A and B are shown apart, each in its own frame.
Chain A
């Protein structure tokens, strides 16, 4: 008689594979470009206009920051998000503002603006001014907004992934229905923190979506030079986590994918999304970009997510030319005003150096 055994289950409650029943237990979805219309997503024409504006603001803001960097108004590193805007915007439109949480790595301007942080506070932060979102103490890589539930802006590759897991833990602990979305680059997949965090999230069934923004290069190292398995969404398999592959140059595909995954998270199932995208600028301002060809870059520029949405709007006659132009002008004016705001904002006073280290007001700093 066969030994009676209770059915084996893995840590997250799924049935464990046995030698007799090895099967693929995880499903992957595909979200290619041009599959979804705005009506499929239930978006109004006004929503489409907002989405266009949201992406364009990031683009113009960063073009202007690059210019200001050249004029030495901005110091340190400046990592531009240009080309990836469909990811920040598309996913933010899948979140509940004020409830859900977001956290990202150092290429953070786009997400900050997409979440509704103001151009003024963001530009002032780049300028290192007192009115910056982080009071001039964080700079480009460290945008934060407690109000918008934007948990940063993190400069150490992979270090924010466990934080995201903990933010999701807090949502679950309080049972508030919120979800945390964690953005990371293709390079961060090869940090141990990614793997530890995914295992913990799956084990504890935390409401989190890990979004790999695969822009093809970890600084100058192409994915296939760093990854033994270049389908990064498959990393979820080891953690009993579902994964999807998304065309990151189509904001509607991103939005649909993120809605699906955020809903999974809300039901207590963490998951992994790989969004394939492309950054048009260098890794940072000092990058000559010799690791890729001009032809590759030009070819990718034809997929520009902002131009793509514009064409979609035109082809479908959703908005008139002058309506689109009005958005362009409005965005341009907002960004120009943010530069004036940043210029006029004071530098942080020297006394501020001892502020914000501790919550304790009278901490006895060593001054000998």
Chain B
């Protein structure tokens, strides 16, 4: 096992796939000459040249669509958004073209493309730079949505995403790019899309969290451990399609569930998980589900407010104690 930063794991996945498949290329703002706004693509232009690592003007709608046109004719683009906040102007391309043209063409044209970049809160950047988009893109059949929480998953899942023949929205995090973690050095390390990871086994309560929220879930599980309770922690890893079997099996074992999701609460990933659990495991529940989300407001700038806005480990811990009827 090698220890890599998250950014290095993502880069390793791109490099391995570009080495094995000439049709894979990387395009985005500052990916080439500048070596990546967050240094994810550092050194890649030197390795592959301007033909395969391509800087763009600030035209997200244009280059997202360019990637889709190239994919429609069989290339396998990786389109980097500097952040997913900037991809709102490209939503027409992603939602109307990436998700729907395969269907409208009766399956004639598919889109082997990955749109990747950091998602969710990234500090004191105020409301427009702190959006969580996983629920938005997960609304649309035709897309697959992956949200990673650690370097190992990042590498294995990004390699899968690049090889997948369907369009994948791949969500990273500015806060986690520098995070180090063990990454499998198995040759051609692949993690299948659509499989959740049971990060910690337990019987007292199921805590579900993806991306940064996974770490809040894990911290809360540690706090519960100090109280003498074993929480089961699940990282869905893929949001669409979500691995319902793993989630439901866990809830059937623990009979209690807390969902951590740093999105705004309305129609979020936590909403859908809660609906599916009540529809499919109602009789297994010993307490109503709880969720911990961002506040139902735009993200604020002030340090104390943004900290208050986001789910904390303490919030998750308290929610767990409530569903366990401890308080």
Contacts and interface: CB of A to CB of B under 8 A. Distances in A.
Do A and B form a real pair? yes
B64 to A, nearest CB: 7
Given A165-B66, A170-B69, A144 B109 contact: yes
Contacts of A132: 106
B75 to A, nearest CB: 5
Nearest to A178: B73
A161 B97 CA distance: 11
A319 interface: no
A356 B102 contact: yes
B106 A163 contact: no
Interface stretch (A22-30, A42-50, A133-141, A278-286): A133-141
A346 to B, nearest CB: 14
Interface stretch (A60-68, A89-97, A189-197): A189-197
B97 to A, nearest CB: 6
Interface residues of A, number: 51
B70 interface: yes
Given A146-B108, A193-B61, A196-B59, A356 B66 contact: no
How many of chain B's residues touch chain A, expressed as a range?
A: 35 or more
Contacts of B25: 173
Given A101-B73, A166-B72, A152 B101 contact: yes
Interface string A129-173: 000111111100010111000011110100111111111111101
Contacts of A365: 141
A368 B108 CA distance: 29
A95 to B, nearest CB: 15
A360 interface: yes
Contacts of B244: 364
Contact of A162 (B65, B103, B276): B65
Contacts of B194: 364
A357 B70 contact: no
B19 to A, nearest CB: 17
Contacts of A163: 65-66, 68-69, 72, 97
Contacts of B265: none
12 contacts: A138-B105, A144-B109, A152-B109, A169-B70, A196-B59, A196-B61, A197-B65, A199-B59, A360-B166, A366-B276, A368-B275, A368-B280
Interface of A: 101, 132-138, 142, 144-146, 151-154, 156, 159-171, 173, 180, 192-193, 196-197, 199-200, 203-204, 355-360, 363-366, 368
